Amino acid sequence: MIARHLLSLILVVALMPAFAADEKKEYKAVGAKKCKICHSTDKKAGTHFKVWEESAHAKAFQSLLTDKAKEAAKKHGIEDPSKDERCLSCHVMKGSPTPEEGVTCESCHGAAEGYLKPHEKEGLEVAVTLGMKPLKKMSPEDQAKACMECHKADPLNEFHKEFKWEEYFPKIDHSKATSPAVLEKRKAEGK
pLDDT tens digits, one per residue of 44-89: 999 999 999 999 999 999 999 999 999 999 999 999 999 999 999 9
Give domain status of residue 1, yes or no: no
Mean pLDDT across the stretch 99-117?
95
Residue pair 111/101 in contact by the 8 Å Cβ criterion: no
- DSSP classification of residue 96: -
Nearest to 48 by CA among 59, 37, 56: 37
Q: What percentage of residues in the chain have a pLDDT greater than 90? A: 59
Q: Which of 3, 49, 63 is nearest to 178 (CA)?
A: 49
Number of CB atoms found within 10 A of residue 38's CB: 18
* CA 52 – CA 58 distance, rounded (Å): 6
Contacts 24+ apart (CB under 8 A), 63-66: 63/91, 64/88, 64/91
CB 124 within 8 A of CB 132: yes
Q: Is residue 152 part of a domain?
A: yes
Question: What is the average pLDDT value for the chain, to the nearest integer?
Answer: 85
14 compared with 57, residue with greater pLDDT: 57
Residues 113 and 60: their CA atoms lie apart, in Å, by 22
Residue 3 falls inside a structural domain: no
pTM given for the model: 0.79
Give me the domain span that covers residue 58.
29-188
Instruction: pLDDT band for 9, please (50, 70, 90 cuts).
Output: very low
- Contact yes or no for 113/29 (Cβ under 8 A): yes
Is residue 21 one of the residues assigned to a domain? no
23 within some domain:
no
- Helix ranges (DSSP H) in 24-164: 32-36, 48-53, 60-63, 67-74, 85-91, 105-109, 116-122, 124-129, 140-148
Per-residue confidence at 23, pLDDT binned at 50, 70, 90?
low
Residue 18 lies in a domain: no
Please give the average per-residue pLDDT across 167-175, as a whole number: 89
pLDDT of residue 191: 74
Give the total number of structural domains in the chain: 1
Q: Quick check: is 49 in a domain?
A: yes
Q: What is the pLDDT at residue 182?
A: 86
